[in-house]
């Protein structure tokens, strides 16, 4: 074993997203792990590190998974990093392989979220006493929700989209609904998506309002699911079969960022700066630019989020996200398809699985294994996730030359 900057995804798998009442978290995680191992034509005996991501469980999902997929004594890292958990688990495995600790690493993200309801709520009363007393980080004497912004994700990202429109212009309720219409249309070609039903712009606009301008179909879907990936270095890949080498996907960039300090409000979240920083680092690391990308899977937790991330990922000029969308570029038959999987609004968002699931989608296109939704000639793709608190993961992936 030796340190290597040459990292490849050898095997990757995503379970069907949706409701799985007959499977628990370990069952779903094990399904993804075994699928990734089979996809890479390797076994747990070949793996030197396991990084496992899960938010809603008890914190030892990696060890629990070992009991089902193979308990080989390797180091296990249990990862929790908001919506970037899966991407963080993958980056953990990548770093171990890069450092030369092992030739092959395994990352998995899994979540049971079906029926979880609205996530991100907060702002409980300070105490049960009859007298209000300041408490907590905000020194509040009552619920903070609605007073200094919002603690719920639909509200946060509604504000993000409205702020972008206020700053650059061109946004409207209908425009955000059209972004969602695009993704629901894309989902009809993805059999692993939680929802595969096309919706018109009118249907989306007339659905239940969650947080203006996001209606229910414009919000990511809570569901169950898992995704896993096996990574290896270039030297190890050379010793494997020609078929394994042909299907391997190069990880040209793996970046994780958090919020930098800035002279700004420290209560309302900033989803933009850390994403722009991650994108800048990823393009530099990979030696490519936005114009080199053939497709993008970005974190459209809400329709408003997709719009601002066109800009944050530099898919358009600064302030040009509305024009970029109106040009048709991010549609499946456009210049730079975005969220061909259906995105989080249709594919679903089992939080810890999403980071690797987005990468799975890119890998399938780079391998020419996407069937009816295949983006022809795809050679370079970008996968992006962002979690409030905050964390942003960006991976640039390239097709194997073999």
Strand partners, 7: 233
Task: Establish if 144 belongs to a structural domain.
Answer: no
| pLDDT at residue 126 in the model | 43
Whether residue 82 has pLDDT greater than 80: yes
Q: What is the pTM of this model?
A: 0.93
Task: Establish if 306 belongs to a structural domain.
Answer: yes
Backbone phi and psi for residue 380, each to the nearest 5 degrees, phi listed first: -135, 130
Whether residue 122 has pLDDT greater than 70: no
pLDDT greater at residue 402 or residue 313: 313
Digit-coded pLDDT (tens) for 218-246: 999 899 999 999 999 999 999 999 999 99
Compute the C-alpha angle 106/110/111, nearest 5°. Answer: 170
Distance of CA 275 to the CA centre of its chain: 12
Upper half-sphere CA count for residue 148 (Cβ side, 13 Å) = 14
Task: Establish if 194 belongs to a structural domain.
Answer: no
Task: Establish if 107 belongs to a structural domain.
Answer: yes
Task: Establish if 211 belongs to a structural domain.
Answer: no
Q: Which percentage of the chain shows pLDDT scores above 90?
A: 83
List, in sequence order, the alpha helices (H) in 71-148. 85-98
Kindly state the DSSP code that residue 125 receives in the 8-state scheme.
-
Q: Which percentage of the chain shows pLDDT scores above 70?
A: 90
Of residues 136, 54, 113, the one with CA closest to residue 89: 54
Task: Establish if 44 belongs to a structural domain.
Answer: yes
Q: What is the DSSP string of 313-380?
A: TTSS-TT-HHHHHHTTTTSTTSSS-B-TT-HHHHT---HHHHHHHHHHHHHHHHTT--GGG--TT--E
| pLDDT at residue 267 in the model | 60
The whole-angstrom separation of Cα 337 and Cα 362 is 11
Q: Do 79 and 85 form a contact (C-beta atoms < 8 A)?
A: yes
Which tokens in the block code for residue 53?
Answer: 């991501």
Q: What is the total count of domains within the chain? A: 1
The whole-angstrom separation of Cα 349 and Cα 83 is 9
Kindly state the DSSP code that residue 194 receives in the 8-state scheme.
S
Of residues 91, 342, 99, 331, the one with CA closest to residue 221: 342
How long, in residues, is the chain?
402
- Range(s) of the domain holding residue 33: 7-115+221-399
Task: Establish if 307 belongs to a structural domain.
Answer: yes
Digit-coded pLDDT (tens) for 135-182: 776 676 666 666 556 778 888 899 999 999 999 999 999 999 999 999
Task: Establish if 232 belongs to a structural domain.
Answer: yes
Collapse the DSSP code of 386 into the 3-class scheme (helix H, G, I; strand E, B; otherwise coil) and give the result.
strand
CATH number at residue 365: 3.40.47.10
The whole-angstrom separation of Cα 85 and Cα 79 is 6
Digit-coded pLDDT (tens) for 252-269: 999 999 999 887 665 668
Digit-coded pLDDT (tens) for 279-293: 999 999 999 999 999
Kindly state the DSSP code that residue 99 receives in the 8-state scheme.
T
pLDDT greater at residue 117 or residue 133: 133
């Amino acid at each position: 074993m030796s340190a290597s900057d040459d990292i490849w995804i050898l095997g990757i798998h995503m379970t069907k997203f949706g409701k799985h009442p007959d499977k628990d978290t370990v069952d779903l995680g094990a399904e993804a792990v075994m699928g990734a191992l089979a996809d890479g034509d390797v076994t747990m005996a070949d793996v030197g590190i396991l990084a496992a991501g899960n938010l809603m469980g008890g914190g030892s999902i990696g060890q629990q998974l070992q009991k089902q997929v193979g308990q080989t004594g390797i180091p296990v890292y249990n990862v929790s990093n908001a919506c970037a958990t899966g991407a963080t688990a993958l980056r953990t495995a990548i770093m171990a392989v890069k450092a030369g600790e092992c030739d092959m690493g395994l990352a998995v993200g899994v979540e049971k979220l079906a029926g979880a309801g609205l996530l991100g709520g907060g702002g409980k009363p300070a105490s049960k006493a009859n007298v209000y007393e300041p408490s907590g980080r905000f020194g509040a004497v009552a619920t903070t929700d609605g007073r200094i912004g919002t603690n719920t994700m639909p509200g946060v990202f509604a504000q993000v989209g409205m702020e972008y429109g206020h700053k650059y212009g061109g946004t409207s309720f209908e425009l955000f609904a059209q972004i969602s219409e695009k993704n629901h249309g894309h989902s009809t070609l993805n059999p692993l998506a939680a929802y595969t039903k096309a919706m018109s712009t009118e249907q989306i606009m007339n659905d239940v309002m969650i947080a203006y301008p996001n209606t229910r179909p414009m919000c990511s879907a809570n569901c169950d699911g898992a995704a896993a990936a096996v990574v290896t270095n270039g030297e190890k890949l050379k010793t494997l079969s020609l078929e394994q080498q042909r299907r391997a996907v190069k990880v040209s960039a793996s970046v994780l960022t958090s919020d930098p300090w800035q002279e700004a409000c420290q209560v309302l979240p900033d989803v933009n700066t850390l994403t722009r920083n991650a994108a800048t680092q990823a393009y530099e690391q990979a030696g490519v630019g936005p114009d080199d990308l053939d497709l993008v899977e970005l974190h459209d937790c809400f329709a408003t989020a997709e719009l601002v991330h066109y800009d944050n990922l530099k898919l358009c000029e600064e302030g040009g996200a509305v024009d970029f969308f109106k040009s048709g570029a991010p549609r499946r038959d456009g210049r730079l398809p975005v969220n061909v999987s259906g995105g989080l609004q249709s594919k679903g968002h089992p939080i810890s699985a999403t980071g690797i699931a987005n990468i799975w989608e890119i890998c399938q296109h780079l391998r020419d294994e996407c069937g009816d939704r295949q983006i022809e000639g795809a050679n370079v793709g970008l996968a992006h996730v962002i979690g409030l608190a905050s964390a942003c993961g960006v991976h640039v992936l390239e097709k194997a030359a073999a």
